[in-house]
Amino acid sequence: GDEDHLGDMDFKVAGTASGVTALQMDIKVQGITKEIMQVALEQAKEGRLHILSKMQESMSSIRTELSEHAPRMVTIKIHPDKIREVIGKGGATIQALTKETGCSIDIKDDGTVTIASTSASGMEEAKRQIEGITAEAEVGKTYEGPVVKILEFGALVNILPGKDGLLHISEIAHERVKEVKDFLQEGQIVKVKLLAADDRGRLKLSMKALSPEEGGPALAQPAPVASNHEASGNTEQ
């Protein structure tokens, strides 16, 4: 601009109402006097305070939180052994997570995971899912999840992403259970307690451990009976 073409000095000052935070200067002469610098700084202060006052007038109040759409970043730490679970086979898991949440996800070899997004909700969802994928099942803890498969001797219940446990028929209710399907259906959401986990990662679950002692109302209630319309739709031809 003209200040570069016509002037001897190009002087930029940045700062707050409390003082100067940055300076940048280009000069075309051998040097400048102390008096010129004092005048320049005073003029810069007047201009800075004027601009800040106008900015303050346009703001009804100081923002205490970032805008929902402001760029943001969060870093979490996972065990390095869990990295492959977050990435998935051929990168399928992390690609699906990135697409679903709209986040950029970077994983270092030491287990540092950086999630960047312009959406607060998307970032939190990505963080929640990664923590779920890498979470370790804790013995004695209560979980809630869907029944993923009915077996003759019990059912498999998903308690964490990628982690299914065995709910043995003897652990469904205090009363004797003759048929698992009388109490459970695939897709049914149940609460279970993790009783044990062996070295091979097999999980032993219980529903009756969360229910009152025998003689009280059982937590596990018989599965709803299909209506005639539903039953006829499942009849083999």
- Per-position DSSP letters for 99-154, written without gaps between them: HHH--EEEE-TTSEEEEEES-HHHHHHHHHHHHHHHPPP-TT-EEEEEEEEEETTE
CATH number of 72-134: 3.30.1370.10
Amino acid at 105: I
Evaluate whether 236 touches 196 at the Cβ level (below 8 Å): no
User: H-helix or E-strand containing 235?
Assistant: none
Q: Which CATH number fits domain 142-224: 1.10.260.40, 2.40.50.140, 3.30.70.260, 3.30.470.10?
A: 2.40.50.140
pLDDT at 84: 92
Q: What is the pLDDT of residues 78-116, one digit of tens each?
A: 999 999 999 999 999 999 999 999 999 999 999 999 999
Q: Beta strand 9-16 with 19-27: parallel, antiparallel or unpaired?
A: antiparallel
Q: What is the pLDDT of residues 148-171, one digit of tens each?
A: 999 999 999 999 877 899 999 999
Q: State which residues of the chain have pLDDT below 70.
A: 1-6, 60-63, 68, 213-237
Q: Is the pTM of this model over 0.85?
A: no
- Return the pLDDT at 217: 37
Residue with token string 């346009």: 58
**Residue limits of CATH 3.30.1370.10 in the chain:** 72-134
Predicted confidence at residue 172, as pLDDT, reads 94
All CATH 2.40.50.140 domain ranges of the chain, comma separated, are 142-224
CA 222 vs. chain centroid, Å, equals: 36
- In the prediction, which pLDDT does 62 show? 66
pLDDT at 207: 95
Specify the pLDDT at position 5. 66
